Amino acid sequence: THSSVLKACKIAGILVEHCRVIETDSSTEYALSPRALTEAISKDIASGLIPFFLTATVGTTSSTAVDPLPELAKISKSNGLWLHVDAAYAGSACICPEFRHYIDGVEEADSFNMNPHKWFLTNFDCSALWIKDKCALIQSLSTNPEYLKNKASQNSAVIDYKDWQIPLGRRFRSLKLWMVLRLYGVENLQAYIRNHIKLADAFEDLVKQDSRFQIVVPRKFSLVCFRLVRNEGDDVENGLNRDLMEAVNSSGKIFITHTVLSGKFVLRFAVGSPLTQERHVLAAWDLLQQKADE
């Protein structure tokens, strides 16, 4: 899950050791296993703890894994857990009908977020949050000192966002998202997402055609997770991939990032810039091959 969950625990006064990061592996393409969740809940209850909140992810940061929302929702409901769905990156893709199935079951969630600034042509920062029962949020964050009292808020004529967030004020983030929606429209936004996924698909095909490289996890959106393989053990290969990443990034021509999956150092190639074209993807692959040869 995203590092923001751990930070939220710290803000809420929840001990770090009570935040469970449940292990995943390649058998589920790094998605959260319902069985692993059930076991973690049972273990905590047996230890006298009270599980109360689950973050499920659609498009995890490391590998864009998609958690099985319908199954996780059932487990959450039967155990009284608040289910939050984090679709910060991949939620944008669900504007396309062919990718909508990735959030099947989201209607059972208690809250849902996606970040238009990640993949929806909206300048940083802009995060969209939906909550099934707003009262739960307001009751936990509401403050009403005398100097903030006003008729509009007290009569519920307006939404007072001081009761929806940690800061007192907020900037007009919704305006830039409204402008994007109005200027591009649904069809152009869908075309934008589809083009990025098409380019990522093309890059994945190039990787598959080179026997020196391996696709670590099947691509779902516009992120490709791959690595250089030499059959010399994980430690050696991890070093080779780190060196490859540093060589590529030092060139100043492209920039890629990494993650670690099942102990393996994995390279991440993301298509997300509004200006990225096929020639950029091909040039990136040529550079990777060149540095791998060296």
Q: What is the mean pLDDT of the chain?
A: 94
Q: Which of 88, 106, 132 is the last residue of a domain?
A: 132
Of 196, 259, 220, residue with least CA distance to 66: 220
82 vs 11, higher pLDDT = 82
Percent of the chain past pLDDT 70, that is, above it, reads 100
21 φ, ψ to 5°?
-105, 105
100 φ, ψ to 5°?
-60, -30
Please write the tens of the pLDDT for every residue from 107-135: 999 999 999 999 999 999 999 999 999 88
* Overall domain count for the chain: 2
pLDDT at site 217: 96
Give me the CATH number covering residue 101.
3.40.640.10
Please write the tens of the pLDDT for every residue from 201-210: 999 999 999 9
Residue 2 has pLDDT above 80, yes or no: no
Give me the CATH number covering residue 288.
3.90.1150.10
The answer to whether residue 289 sits within a structural domain is yes
Confidence tier at 1 by pLDDT (50, 70, 90): low
Expressed as residue numbers, the domain containing 270 is: 193-293
Confidence tier at 286 by pLDDT (50, 70, 90): very high
Please write the tens of the pLDDT for every residue from 132-170: 998 888 888 888 888 888 888 888 888 888 888 888 888
The answer to whether residue 50 sits within a structural domain is yes
Question: Helix, strand or coil for residue 113?
Answer: strand
115 φ, ψ to 5°?
-110, 105
Q: Which residues pair with 114 in a beta bridge?
A: 128
Q: Which amino acid is at 19?
A: C
Helices (H), 148-277: 151-154, 173-209, 234-250
Residue 104 has pLDDT above 80, yes or no: yes
The answer to whether residue 187 sits within a structural domain is no
Residue 203 contacts residue 271 (beta carbons within 8 Å): yes
Average pLDDT of span 189-201 = 98
Query: How many CB atoms are closer than 10 A to CB 189?
Result: 18
Q: What is the pTM of this model?
A: 0.91
The answer to whether residue 249 sits within a structural domain is yes
